[in-house]
Amino acid sequence: MSDRPRQSEGIEVNETADGYVVYDSASDRVHYLNHTAAIVLELCTGEHDEPGIAALLQRVYDLPEPPEVEIAECLAILKDEGLVA
């Protein structure tokens, strides 16, 4: 994964009450993301690196430490599912 992850081309993101529904046209699959995963996906613009995303989530959720391990795991799953390049 690049130092600054970005959403993959061809995904369609739709907001729902409990997160996002994401359609990936390349794999013809639908993905359901909770609120936190949805925020991580939104931050995958190519502007933020992994530690930067963790720092932003720390502020959003008022955490004592940046959730670096959790963000790394989330980004790895998004990448494996083809939603982040």
Residue 3 lies in a domain: no
Instruction: Give the tens place of pLDDT for each residue, 31-70.
Output: 999 999 999 999 999 999 999 999 999 999 999 999 999 9
List the domain range (segments joined by +) for residue 54.
11-80
Residue 2 lies in a domain: no
Residue 15 lies in a domain: yes
**pLDDT exceeding 70 applies to what percent of the chain?**
98
Please say if the pLDDT value at position 2 is more than 80. no
pLDDT on residue 44: 96
Q: How many domains does the chain have?
A: 1
Task: Taking each helix axis as running N to C, give the angle between helix 50-60 and helix 35-43, from 0 to 180 degrees, rounded to the nearest 10.
Answer: 130
pLDDT on residue 3: 86
Residue 59 lies in a domain: yes
Residue 1 lies in a domain: no
Residue 41 lies in a domain: yes
Q: Give which of 11, 22, 17, 52 is closest to 35, Cα–Cα.
A: 17
What's the pTM?
A: 0.90
Residue 67 lies in a domain: yes
